[in-house]
A = this chain, B = another copy of it.
Amino acid sequence: MKIDAALLASNNRHKKIEIAAALPGLIISLPADKGIEFDVEETGATFLDNALLKARALFAAAKTPVIADDSGLCVASLDGRPGVYSARFGFDLPAPPADDAERNAYLLSLLPRGRRHEAFFVCAMVLLLSEYRFFAAQETVEGLIVHEPRGSSGFGYDPVFFVPEKGKTIAELPLEDKNSFSHRGRAAARIRANIESL
């Protein structure tokens, strides 16, 4: 069984670009590209649960191989928050953050300046081939939260996530660099290895 195309269980075009770059040879489409409406509540307790939940929902509609990922930021001094709530961080506030920049500002407001804030990104990625067949990988990348957002590449918390060994935030790195060491790039590399082994 050769797999040459998959739907991505997401409406995020940034994520599509990133995952497509990490999976050369696989044609990745968003549900919207195929006229499929995709809207799933991410109620899982873990990154993997959420990735599988999204993959299964789209597979039920499309009956074609589906890739899904669920990613998040875990900050040590916040006891691992925002974690699986990363995309919705602050949603219970009177005025919830409305975009990535506001979510970053909210995150930084919780972290005292002048201290070292260790953090890691997590990405659980799933390739669902049929109701009972799938591959999954969860990978991480470690770094520090910085109070001055820097860079315009990537999305989400990338501008405040500093990678010591690169001397830059993830948003300061071009996509091919990001994919070579990031949580999502590493998870995609595992998915690619699974595909090649079929």
Contacts and interface: CB of A to CB of B under 8 A. Distances in A.
Interface range on chain A: under 10, 10 to 19, 20 to 34, or 35 or more?
Answer: 20 to 34
A123 to B, nearest CB: 10
Interface in A141-198: 189-190, 192-194, 196-197
Contacts of A139: 133
Most B Cβ at <10 Å: residue of A52, A122, A140, A194: A194
A137 B139 CA distance: 15
A193 B193 CA distance: 6
Contact of A193 (B48, B132, B138, B197): B197
Interface of A: 48, 52, 120, 122, 132-140, 189-190, 192-194, 196-197
